[in-house]
Amino acid sequence: MDRRLRVLWQIVWLVFIVSCKSVKKPYNYKRFPDSYAEVKQEYDNYYHLTGCQSGATIASIGAGNGITEIQISCFNEGIRWYLQEIDSTRLYQFEEVLKYHESVVGSPINANFNLVLGTEDTTHLPNGVFDRVLMLNVFHEIESRRGIMTEIHQLLNENGVLVIMERMGNIEGEIHGDCKYPKLVEDSFLQEMREYGYALDKQQLGEEMSNLMFYSFVSEK
């Protein structure tokens, strides 16, 4: 009986340790792929909808450790990236994430990566150089958005496009299960973007189950 109790206690302790480790993961933690096929599936399912193209100059605001941008670069060569993040600990993980993906792909990833530490008030990105600015699952987390959204107009070049990816809510008051921020609702979100001076260029459904949407905007002339 004592042996059974010891085994049970060991199992409970192991579950507790695993649970504690999972809590420490960032809320936007993304599992590393085990194979090139998984990277390609992720790109084919979702991230091709960002419209990133080989040779472009692209900024990603709130890029975290750069995992998504690295995966996009596996299928679009020669992108000049500016990975912007306000959490320096996430940026410090970038080199490890890049090396891991190069080992999975089996070759160096052909892209130029620039890491940029911003703040809640400014991106610290250069003006007028970007073909595309990405905000992937980050817009809903910015509590004071007007300043950043006004700044992005200056970041884009003459033909530049802003791409926002979000899991949209169906009604006001829905909450994201991971970060606990309120979900955006499309009508009010698009109205907010118009107030910031953006015109909707394209909207595409990435995944029906989670209502994952990709929106492309241009600056209104």
Domains defined for the chain, CATH in brackets: 30-219 (3.40.50.150)
Taking 60 as the threshold, does the pLDDT of residue 208 lie above it? yes
Nearest to 39, CA basis, from 64, 76, 90, 65: 76
- DSSP-assigned beta bridge partners for residue 59: 82, 133
What are the tens digits of pLDDT across the range 164-199? 999 999 888 787 766 777 889 999 999 999 999 999
3 state SS of 141:
helix
DSSP state of 23: H
Taking residues 212-221, report their average pLDDT.
Answer: 93
Report pLDDT for 174: 80
How sure is the predictor about 26, in pLDDT bands with cuts at 50, 70 and 90?
very low
What sign has the CA pseudo-torsion 169, 173, 177, 183?
Answer: positive
Report pLDDT for 2: 52
Taking 80 as the threshold, does the pLDDT of residue 154 lie above it? yes
pTM: 0.84
Report pLDDT for 221: 64
DSSP assignments along 60-101, one per residue: EET-TTSHHHHHHHTTSTTEEEEEEES-HHHHHTHHHHHHHH
For residue 78, what are the contacts with CB-CB under 8 A and spacing of at least 6? 54, 55, 110, 111, 112
Report pLDDT for 119: 92
